[in-house]
Amino acid sequence: MKYLSVFAFLVFFSSCSLAQKNKSVVSSKSISTQVTSPTFSEVIGVNGGLFLSGSEETLRKASVFENNRIFYLMGHDMKGRMPKDFIPKPCLTDCPNISCDWENTNAAWKFRLCDWRHTFTTNTIAFEVFEGTGRDYPNRFYRAEELGDPYQAGFNYGQSTAIGLEGLITTVEVGNEPHGSPGIETFNKWAKGIADGVRSKSKTMKICSADRQNSGPDIFGGTLLNNQMKDIDTSLFDILQVHAYAFNKEFKVTDSPESLRKELTDMHPYRDKELWLGEVGWDSELLGEETQAGYLLRIIVLAMRHDFDKVFVYNIIDDGPWAAPFEHCGILNKDSSPKKSYELLKRMVTEFGNYRISKVVKDGLGGEYEYNFTDGKKELSISWKASDRGIPSILVAK
């Protein structure tokens, strides 16, 4: 996140004990002030860091962060086949090797990921699979009838993923933002197949859920399975995630970060699992770079305060006009030049990367927020008012 003003730190910290996550007992109605927070370096990640439009400069800038999440269309592996007809034939040749058989499962990803697997601590591959209408390859989503036996189709693909990408990715995400025509029953069977298939061949990969939420304005909400949150089988997953965007009434990403606290608190009943904010971002063209940067820092701090383990900013780079309303949510411009949000996030992980929340001082009462952090030796405070549009105040103790 961006340029930070650093001042002498003379704030008296009010006390609030730090509790281990697995020992915290919190209901969704009463959110405790007991917080266990990972560090800024452990929390902050980006979306799209491995697609990068072929730009080494974008990859270099993305690599200051530890965590990366990428989208992957299963159609790249199907090559005209239906999931029900899919036979796993993973490419197992050592990388880099352009002669890999790209017709075989995951060949493209084995090649693409092998040179970059040491760049990020967390590499998450998010499989796109369901939508109400089919699309042509490679932007292909699959209807229920094209899956055949959804469990077996998922199991075959999960096994192939684990064999082909073991050691190259850390996390398999089941579905990104699944649309609704297959229905929740089909989705749960397919998700269980993916999870079982991966776990049968991988000793290291974790399984992450698709986006799960039941609140917030969303014009796509009528078709997304994430609005059937209560029906998704959470036992399948090591990690549960939510995607949260602060849409205004015109469906522009401009509202304040604090408007997203409902999406965060919805996840409190599941804090025995790892929690991710898988996508969040703001439009720099509508808000300005300063506000975009400030809002991103605020949502990251709020997510840490709500026991989230990772926040993946959408996106590493501005998308094209086809990506409305998210085309200017990147922290880099289309030419890979940094925005203020990139500079701020970079500073958070390079200068304050070892700091974690130690105390909750002000938690929204009267529109005021203040959270104290420590690296075990020094302390800092981050504070803001809900009406602010600039960078939060960052006070560092001498």
Instruction: Determine which of 62-71, 211-220, 307-316 has the lowest per-residue pLDDT on average.
Output: 211-220
Q: Is the pLDDT of residue 15 over 70?
A: no
Q: Contact at 8 Å (CB) between 40 and 374? A: no
Tokens of 328: 């200017």
More confidently predicted of 296 and 37: 296
Q: What percent of the chain has pLDDT over 70?
A: 69
Residue 188 has a pLDDT of: 86
Q: Is the pLDDT of residue 93 over 50?
A: no
Q: Long-range CB contacts (< 8 A, 24+ apart) of 347-353?
A: 347/1, 347/2, 347/3, 347/4, 348/1, 348/4, 348/40, 348/44, 348/297, 348/300, 349/40, 349/41, 349/44, 349/64, 349/65, 349/66, 350/64, 351/4, 352/40, 352/380, 353/39, 353/40, 353/41
Band the pLDDT of 219: cuts 50, 70, 90. low
Tokens of 325: 């309303």
Which domains does the chain carry? Answer: 41-337 (3.20.20.80)
Instruction: Determine which of 50-64, 128-142, 154-168, 177-191 has the lowest per-residue pLDDT on average.
Output: 128-142
Residue 258 has a pLDDT of: 97
Q: Is the pLDDT of residue 61 over 70?
A: yes
Tokens of 197: 């298939």
Phi-psi region of 376 (alpha: psi -120 to 50; beta: other; left: phi over 0): left
DSSP state of 284: H
- Spell out the SS3 assignment of 227-270: HHHHHCCHHHCCEEEEECCCECCCCCECCCHHHHHHHHHCCHHH
Instruction: Determine which of 33-42, 94-103, 263-272, 336-345 has the lowest per-residue pLDDT on average.
Output: 94-103
The number of C-alpha atoms within 13 Å of 353 and in the hemisphere containing its C-beta is 12
pLDDT digits (tens, 9 = 90+) for 169-216: 899 998 887 766 567 788 888 889 999 999 999 999 999 998 876 554
Band the pLDDT of 362: cuts 50, 70, 90. very high
Residue 125 has a pLDDT of: 83
Instruction: Tell me the pTM.
Output: 0.85
More confidently predicted of 47 and 80: 47
Tokens of 235: 């036992």
Q: Is the pLDDT of residue 226 over 70?
A: no
Q: Is the pLDDT of residue 372 over 90?
A: yes
Q: Contact at 8 Å (CB) between 306 and 31? A: yes
Which residues touch 40 (CB under 8 Å, ≥6 apart)?
A: 300, 348, 349, 352, 353, 354, 355, 356
| Whole-number Å distance between alpha carbons of 94 and 284 | 41
Element (H, E) at 150: helix 150-165
| Whole-number Å distance between alpha carbons of 261 and 190 | 31
Q: Is the pLDDT of residue 83 over 80?
A: no
| Whole-number Å distance between alpha carbons of 114 and 94 | 9
